[in-house]
């Protein structure tokens, strides 16, 4: 990769590794589905204001791609709700590690559906990263727990949305795509929160934490995620992102005092 790509991916890996940590920090303050809805809603407002100020948003652009936005909006909303709910049952480090089952799903979608082609060198790197992912994820007792199951289902849905975006979203102007992606996701999360009866009003400290979460975990992280997705095959993109749980486990240790197991360290080293 070029120096610029390495820098962009470094920032992306750091921001991506914070997802479950932010969810854990919000857990004592507000129900998970509600926090997910507010975080995505704040991000929608941020991106919407930027799009309006820079005149890169036209509401007419939604209609031609309505089914595309509704499809990915539902998948992301369900995935985000499940990932936030999973932190009720497992720690952020384990959740982030289990979340890399998305690499398996992404490789399958990329190779079988999008027809990605990998060179022998990339295949070798993918194999080593996959081996590390298997070592980390499939530990006795972990993946059978309810919280772990939520993460794996969430990862499958997110990988499917990524494949749809890679296949059908590349021709859409980026700012418009990003705004309507966020708007449709927030809409579905609002429905989910209403059905579950968790539409509560946060206090000001929770609003502040959600603002930070939205800025880093959604606006910064997902903007870099989709920009890099547009420049490389989905399979390679997924393999590089297997590094994010290694960062997440380190941050989980520093913030929550939850140390990785020897098996997680071996798998992380392979990745």
Per-residue model confidence as pLDDT tens digits over 15-57: 877 888 899 999 999 999 999 999 999 999 999 999 999 998 8
Lowest-pLDDT range of 96-110, 145-159, 170-184: 96-110
Reply yes or no on whether the pLDDT at 144 is more than 90.
no
pLDDT at 50: 95
pLDDT at 237: 78
pLDDT at 219: 94
pLDDT at 145: 64
pLDDT at 200: 93
Lowest-pLDDT range of 98-107, 163-172, 176-185: 98-107
pLDDT digits (tens, 9 = 90+) for 173-210: 999 999 999 999 999 999 999 999 999 999 999 999 99
HSE-CB at 138 with a 13 A cutoff on CA atoms is 8
Give percent of the chain above pLDDT 70: 81
Q: Which residue has the tokens 């999360």?
A: 189
Reply yes or no on whether the pLDDT at 165 is more than 80.
yes
pLDDT digits (tens, 9 = 90+) for 223-260: 988 988 888 888 777 777 777 766 666 666 666 666 66
Reply yes or no on whether the pLDDT at 139 is more than 60.
no
pLDDT at 178: 95
pLDDT at 209: 96
Mean pLDDT of 157-169: 91
Residue 42 tokens read as 């704040």
DSSP the chain: --HHHHHHHHHHHHHHTTHHHHHHHHTTTS-HHHHHHHHHHHHHHHHHHHHHHTT---GGGSGGGHHHHHHHHHHHHHHHHHHHHHTTTS-HHHHHHHHTHHHHHHHHIIIIIS-----HHHHHHHHHHHHHHHHHH--TTTTTSHHHHHHHHHHHHHHHHHHHHHHHSTTS-HHHHHHHHHHHHHHHHHHHHHHHT------HHHHHHHHHHIIIIIIIHHHHHHHHHTTS-HHHHHHHGGGHHHHHHHHHHHHH--PPPHHHHHHHHH-
Does residue 148 contact residue 97 with C-beta atoms inside 8 Å? no
The better pLDDT of the pair 88, 119 is held by 88
Mean pLDDT estimate for the chain? 83
Lowest-pLDDT range of 77-81, 85-89, 239-243: 239-243
Measured distance CA(188)–CA(233) in Å, rounded:
29
- Interior CA angle at 62 toward 59 and 66, to 5°? 155
pLDDT at 32: 95
Reply yes or no on whether the pLDDT at 102 is more than 90.
no
pLDDT at 141: 54
């Amino acid at each position: 990769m070029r120096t610029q790509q390495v820098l962009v991916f470094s920032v992306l890996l750091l921001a991506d590794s914070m997802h479950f940590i932010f969810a854990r920090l919000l857990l004592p303050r507000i129900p998970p589905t509600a926090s997910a809805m507010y975080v995505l809603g704040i991000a929608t407002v941020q991106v919407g204001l930027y799009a309006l100020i820079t005149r890169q948003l036209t509401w007419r652009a939604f209609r031609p791609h309505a089914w595309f936005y509704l499809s990915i909006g539902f998948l992301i909303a369900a995935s985000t709700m499940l990932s936030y709910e999973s932190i009720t049952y497992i720690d952020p480090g384990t959740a982030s590690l289990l979340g890399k089952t998305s690499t398996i799903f992404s490789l399958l979608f990329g190779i079988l559906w999008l027809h990605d082609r990998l060179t022998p060198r990339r295949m070798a790197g993918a194999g080593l990263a996959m081996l590390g992912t298997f070592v980390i994820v499939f530990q006795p007792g972990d993946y059978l727990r309810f919280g772990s199951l939520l993460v794996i289902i969430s990862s499958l849905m997110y990988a499917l949305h990524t494949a749809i975006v890679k296949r059908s979203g590349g021709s859409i102007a980026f700012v418009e795509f990003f705004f309507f992606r966020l708007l449709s996701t927030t809409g579905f999360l609002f429905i989910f929160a209403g059905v579950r009866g968790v539409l509560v009003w946060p206090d000001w400290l929770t609003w502040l934490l959600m603002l930070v979460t939205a800025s880093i975990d959604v606006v910064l992280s997902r903007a870099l995620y989709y920009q890099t997705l547009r420049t490389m095959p989905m399979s390679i993109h997924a393999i590089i992102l297997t590094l994010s749980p290694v960062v997440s486990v380190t941050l989980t240790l520093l913030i929550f005092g939850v140390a990785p197991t020897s098996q997680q360290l071996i798998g992380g080293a392979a990745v």
